């Protein structure tokens, strides 16, 4: 299974949101969103970069997702599953199964300071 490495750089705090820049590799970036082909299984590896606020780390419940709404607190079921935080909270990996149809996923990255960031994944 291929690994898609995504840099996550915090830019500033706005309320409980940490506004971040995400930097996926060429071919996984579409319209400012993370793009994964619908027939591709992979591992997403989010690497937290230094920024503002600093220090910042992923929390123990780091990844939520929802297919048709804002993400809510829930276990991370397939096709996005097995979130793991490593390296003292600076790296988050999420296993992603292939999907058969076009879809969009709203996901939340949760940080150790009770804040979050909500990017979107497009599968087409």
Count CA atoms within 13 Å of residue 120 on its CB side.
13
Boundaries of domain holding 11 = 2-123
Mean pLDDT for 8-33 is 88
26 pLDDT tier (thresholds 50, 70, 90): confident
Please tell me the predicted confidence (pLDDT) of residue 123: 65
Please tell me the predicted confidence (pLDDT) of residue 75: 65
Mean pLDDT for 60-80 is 78
Of 74, 81, 78, 121, the residue nearest 102 (C-alpha): 121
52 or 86, higher pLDDT: 52
Look up the CATH number of the domain holding residue 106: 2.60.40.420
- Output b/e per residue, 5-21; b: 16+ Cβ within 10 A: ebebebeeeeeeebebe
CA dihedral 38, 81, 20, 33 (to 10 degrees): 10
On the question of pLDDT at 77 being above 80, the answer is no
Look-up: residue for tokens 């909500």?
Answer: 118
Domain count for the chain: 1
73 pLDDT tier (thresholds 50, 70, 90): confident
> pTM of this prediction?
0.88
């Amino acid at each position: 299974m291929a690994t898609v490495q995504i840099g996550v750089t915090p830019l500033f705090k706005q309320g409980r949101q940490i506004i971040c820049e995400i930097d996926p590799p060429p071919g996984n970036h579409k319209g400012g969103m993370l793009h994964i082909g619908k027939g591709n299984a992979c591992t997403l590896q989010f690497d937290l970069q230094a920024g503002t606020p600093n220090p910042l780390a992923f929390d123990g419940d780091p990844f939520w997702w929802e297919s048709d709404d804002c993400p809510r607190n829930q276990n991370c079921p397939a096709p996005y599953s097995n979130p793991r935080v490593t390296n003292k909270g600076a790296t988050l990996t999420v296993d992603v199964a292939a999907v058969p149809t076009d879809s969009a996923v709203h996901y939340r990255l949760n940080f150790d300071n009770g804040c979050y960031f909500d990017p979107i994944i497009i599968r087409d």
